[in-house]
Amino acid sequence: MQFVTNLRGGISYLWIAVVFALLLSGLSTALSQGSSPAPSPRFSTAEARMHYNKATVLGEKAEWGGAVLELNRALQNEPNHPELLIELGIALGELEEWDQAIRILKKAVELAPDSVRAHYNLGVTLDRFNPGKKPGTSEYQKALKLNPEDVGSLINLAANLGDQNSDEARKLLERALAIDPKNPRAHFNLALLLKNSGDGSGAVEELHKAIGLDPEPLEPRRHLVSLLVSEQRWDETVVQCQEILKRKSTDWSARYTLGQSLIRRSKVAEGRKELEKSQEIRQSQEKKEEVEKIVHQGVDALTQGKVEEGIKQFTSALKMDQSSSQAHMYLGVALAAAGRPDQGIEELKKAIELDPSSPRAHHNLGTVLMQTGRMDLARQELEKALRLDPYFPETHNNLGLILSRDNQAPQGIEHFRLASDLNPHYLEALFNLGLALRSIHQIDAAIQAFRRAAEAAPDNPEVHYALSMTLKDKGDLKGAKEAMDRATTLQQQSGAKPHSRR
């Protein structure tokens, strides 16, 4: 959804976005998530190093949005720094911003074709984005040509080749273990190969090694449980199921197996109790998954402009589960898009009642309140959203709009700048940043913002028009004419009515 408002002293084109943010489950893979340690990069500027160091600290705390912000700021100083691009690609991958992550990592590979880390992390990101097709295989092979002892690439290449060439996969894993005998992922992947080849005892041994080296992942324990059950080793099965449930109490499959194993050990009452819990959890999860599926279908309809179809899907989801905050949130967005903002606001409030910690719900409520002109309430909701997620660019953009409208241009500029630093290709934020800077007569900075917007959207006539007006303010009549000619050409090509010159 896109709205337009006026900014005092500037060109009257401000963009505002409502965000559709369906939270999907993360992928479970047997990929190695680490390759060779990151080398200490060299920098040409102190500013780039400072932002890189901040990003490193944030990444260690899994604050990936903050890491993206700092890495983008570092790249403003050194835009072709391969290690910065690699780290940015990793951070974007953790946020599941797959298209951006892949684009950034491909650029890193182009700039540093001899970088093992660039090839490895591109391979991991491609596999996480599309695990079924295993598109990262060629990148691991390239990494291994550069460094035949890169353990992460050996493990991931083996995982990708396992179904097609188990002998080659085993050789790769044995090479990895010869280099790093205490690598739990290598032991786990070797266990999977042995299990698939029918060597159950060998698989059990490797799974015990993997679990001993890293007891937290659930997948090794789940595979171990299936092997122990096949061998009727009930005491050991009980222990492993209990370990799984310590880490994930809602794992209905582990609880079911625990119940069956307890019964086999003549603990019938205790076993039946676990089986009943398992059934309750399974039914609840199946219902939740069905609701998520319907909500996802509604989001797809909404993003395709099929608003009424989206409303139908979200309403259907709520008939199944009135406690779904996601369904209420998206129904609220859809109702607002259908021209029923008051009803949308009520649904968004219900979403927040069910999940007060959702930054997306607060963001979307604030945005719909903006649509209805309730700016004070909108500001409150957007500020709540940023307290919950300070790294959401669309919220910064929308709050910047409110502040600019309230004659607080410097504060609005800070939010527009944050939004565009978080996402350097965020056209609306760049455009609004340029307008706000122009409104307080920071002409050089405004020109820089509009040039960045023109790079992000070279075929957008509004951007070139704004750039032309700002170059004219500076007295650069030649540059202003070139930008105006470009804007006019683009408008004629699109059939839009040209702007009058000012």
pLDDT (tens digit per residue) in 192-206: 999 999 999 999 999
Contact criterion met (CB below 8 Å) for 450 and 434? yes
At the topology level, CATH places domain 1-19+390-502 in 1.25.40
Structure confidence by residue, pLDDT tens digits, 27-37: 223 444 555 55
Q: In the structure, what pLDDT confidence band is assigned to residue 448 with cuts at 50, 70 and 90? A: very high
Structure confidence by residue, pLDDT tens digits, 57-106: 999 999 999 999 999 999 999 999 999 999 999 999 999 999 999 999 99
Strand 2-3, strand 16-17: pairing:
antiparallel
For the segment 329-338, the average pLDDT, to the nearest whole number, is 96
Specify the pLDDT at position 132. Answer: 85
DSSP category for residue 12:
S
Residue range(s) occupied by CATH 1.25.40.10 in the chain? 1-19+390-502, 33-147
For the segment 220-230, the average pLDDT, to the nearest whole number, is 97
Specify the pLDDT at position 40. Answer: 83
Measure the CA–CA gap between 252 and 244, rounded to whole angstroms: 10
For the segment 100-129, the average pLDDT, to the nearest whole number, is 97
For the segment 380-384, the average pLDDT, to the nearest whole number, is 97
Average model confidence (pLDDT) across the chain:
91
- Does the structure show a pLDDT above 60 at 415? yes
DSSP category for residue 498:
P
Measure the CA–CA gap between 143 and 484, rounded to whole angstroms: 48
CA angle 139, 142, 143 (to 5 degrees): 90
For the segment 236-255, the average pLDDT, to the nearest whole number, is 97
Q: In the structure, what pLDDT confidence band is assigned to residue 409 with cuts at 50, 70 and 90? A: very high
Write 381-389 long-range contacts (CB < 8 A, 24+): 384/359, 385/359, 385/360, 386/359, 388/357, 388/358, 388/359, 388/362, 389/65, 389/359
- Does the structure show a pLDDT above 70 at 153? yes
**Closest alpha carbon to 34 in 123, 129, 126, 164:** 123
Q: In the structure, what pLDDT confidence band is assigned to residue 494 with cuts at 50, 70 and 90? A: confident
DSSP category for residue 373:
T
Percent of the chain with pLDDT strictly greater than 70? 91
Q: In the structure, what pLDDT confidence band is assigned to residue 2 with cuts at 50, 70 and 90? A: very low
For the segment 344-371, the average pLDDT, to the nearest whole number, is 97
Token code pair at residue 180:
């790093």
CA distance readout (Å), 370 to 48, 325, 332? 37, 21, 14
- Does the structure show a pLDDT above 70 at 439? yes
Specify the pLDDT at position 36. Answer: 56
Residues whose CB is less than 8 angstroms from the CB of residue 178 and which lie 6 or more positions away in sequence, other chains included = none
Residues whose CB is less than 8 angstroms from the CB of residue 175 and which lie 6 or more positions away in sequence, other chains included = 149, 154
Measure the CA–CA gap between 126 and 106, rounded to whole angstroms: 10
Specify the pLDDT at position 131. Answer: 86
Measure the CA–CA gap between 206 and 226, rounded to whole angstroms: 14
Measure the CA–CA gap between 24 and 63, rounded to whole angstroms: 19
Token code pair at residue 23:
């939270």
Token code pair at residue 251:
């794992």
- Does the structure show a pLDDT above 50 at 8? no
- Does the structure show a pLDDT above 90 at 115? yes
Contact criterion met (CB below 8 Å) for 195 and 231? no
Note the pTM of the prediction, 2 decimals. 0.84
- In this structure, of 22-26, 215-219, 473-477, the range with the lowest mean pLDDT score is 22-26
Count of all residues that appear for the chain in the document: 502
Measure the CA–CA gap between 466 and 256, rounded to whole angstroms: 64
Measure the CA–CA gap between 81 and 108, rounded to whole angstroms: 8
Token code pair at residue 210:
């993997």
Question: Which of helix, strand or coil describes residue 31?
Answer: coil
Measure the CA–CA gap between 166 and 172, rounded to whole angstroms: 10
Specify the pLDDT at position 17. Answer: 39
Structure confidence by residue, pLDDT tens digits, 204-223: 999 999 999 999 999 999 99
Measure the CA–CA gap between 22 and 234, rounded to whole angstroms: 41
CA distance readout (Å), 204 to 94, 209, 234? 31, 9, 14
Specify the pLDDT at position 38. Answer: 64
- Cβ-based neighbour number of residue 376 at 10 Å: 9
Rg (CA), the chain: 27
For the segment 243-268, the average pLDDT, to the nearest whole number, is 97
At the topology level, CATH places domain 33-147 in 1.25.40
Percent of the chain with pLDDT strictly greater than 90? 88
Sequential DSSP letters for 435-475: HHHHHTT-HHHHHHHHHHHHHH-TT-HHHHHHHHHHHHHHT
Specify the pLDDT at position 37. Answer: 59
Contact criterion met (CB below 8 Å) for 310 and 295? no
- Does the structure show a pLDDT above 50 at 165? yes
Question: Which of helix, strand or coil describes residue 24?
Answer: coil
Measure the CA–CA gap between 437 and 455, rounded to whole angstroms: 18
Determine the longest span between alpha carbons in the chain, in angstroms: 91
CA distance readout (Å), 348 to 67, 129, 355, 493? 30, 31, 10, 40
